[in-house]
Structure 1
Amino acid sequence: MDKKKFDEEFKKLWEESPLSHSDSDKEASWEQFHAKTFSEKKRKFRPWHLYAAASVLLFALIGTGFYFSSESTNENAVVAETVIENLTAKIKYVVLPDSSKIELSPNSKISYGANFALNRKIEIEGEAYFNVKKDKQHPFQVFCDETTTTVLGTSFTVKESENEHVTVELFEGSVQMNVKGQSQKWILKPGDKFTYGNQTVSVTEFSRFVDFDNETLSVISRYIEENYGYKVNIPKENLDQKITIRINKREDLKTILQLLSEMYNLNFEINEDLRQITFQ
């Protein structure tokens, strides 16, 4: 294989790095490595010796964690500058500096650094639902106990129980799970439930939808009230109309309201002060 071809193939291997490294980081590290390894001074060696040595060096760096390490993701995860705690009995809605949204459950806490928009790492104690804004250049990582959730998609819940079991349920997109001290990675797909406790990992399925089969709109309105915290007013003539629908348990409220309004030719209004929704 000539040098140009080998150079191209070797660079491909180098760029196969985790999401925690941006494209600019990978390019910079490649240029630095390439300059040192393939400098004019070194070309007095026989090429095949040089290429073999370079290949061994790359995989040695990966194996020891000099370049990256899956075991280092939990260490010194977050230098907390901002701490948000929910001491109420209701869900607390939080918008992060990068516009990602969190529904923080009662008796739960999150913390993150001052440079969060560039270093999207966040720690959680308790339970929260995350709806993450996509940003390929800045991966979003959630640290809970000994687990790290690296976000490859958008919406999921993280829950730490009293017995220190951690549960992650993925509703949309994709996430990668790591456990401190373990080299294995788990890629979750929608509907997967990751559970970690007592040094043991399990991945099972959970139901991320709620089904309404030929139910009345009054039943749907109660579901909204119980799960979103809004009082729903529907015209009397529509209350007994039937509907068959499947709703993602973490569906955005406005998406549900818009669907209902289109199906029954209704308009809706949201009063945030009264936490009330009125169809007419």
Structure 2
Amino acid sequence: MLDYEDYSPEDFAADPTFRKWVLNPDPEVTRFWDGWQQDHPEQSIRLHQARELLLAVQALYSDALTGDTIRRESLEIARLAGTRPIPASRRFQIWGVSSRKIAASVLMVASLTWVVTRWLPETPAAHTIIAARADSLIVKTNDTAGEMTILLADNSVAILGPGSSITYPRRFGLGDRQVRLSGEAFFDVARDPQRPFLVYANETVTRVLGTSFRVRAFTKENTVTVLVKTGRVSVYPEKTHQNGKMETDPERDGLVLMPNQQGVFIRDQHRLEKSAVANRALLTESVMSRELIFDDRPVTEVLRTMEKAYGIHIQCDTGLLARCSISAQFSDENLKQRLNAICEAIGATYEMVDGQVLIHSKGCS
């Protein structure tokens, strides 16, 4: 048995069993790593760092991903993350050698804060935002021609497509994390083995522990499609979930989907089908181009640009960040990868609270 207690995030990411747990899990490897994580809570930050690092490198190398590749890229990422030129101005290079790859793979070491609260029973979708008590449900409908970024309280992100609605709690409870979707959305779900993430959409339930995937479920269409980018996703008819059969035999009662696979539920036949993803473009977080380049720019300016690009609010202490500057080139990274990269560069952390991003920093000397 390997002594994982001394492993760095790079060691975890290069380990074959850890990679299988994150990218292509089976019951045996899931039991091992979930149990190891529970027995070693002090390693939770390293495991999170390793997962973010692995997903970033995997997005670039796809099927060619190996332990040697991860170690090579990790060393280069660590070298760049450790560069601290001219302390007085606090300038950090996020781009450099192999800039496209490094920008996409910047080490994700900002520790995240999870909000634990209570989930209320579901309510019908509406065309307005419901935001009353702190534990109330929120309903958002995207009536625009572009995409809408939804920040959930567990640090998960949903990119909501045009003509789509999503219902979710202001804060998730101790049990399952449940949302209801009408239309199309890409989900980047924060991993939490103790609280599965469930997406209800047109007679289907999609169940994950922490992964990224797209769901297309428009009311007027006869199909519901789930496309998996990373991790392991289970898809069931909603009646199966109501009958309590979701945990008995996933392959018999529903579908188990791995990366680059899709499941299609044919509504009028009440039938599920599995196949390979034909249109790989649907596995990206956004169909919009959000390429951003910053050359020694104040981090407050970078954050304001991110706000406009994603239509979100980022709250920070502008006084503390006044002396922080970064250089970065973002191309195909998702929102969380970009936030992690920026926070790592300036020694900050972030969390998502009440639909906005809060940056916690001690400033730059």
Q: TM-score, normalised by structure 1?
A: 0.48
- Greater RCO (CA < 8 Å, at least 6 residues apart): 2
Structure with the bigger percentage of strand: 1
Q: TM-score, normalised by structure 2?
A: 0.38
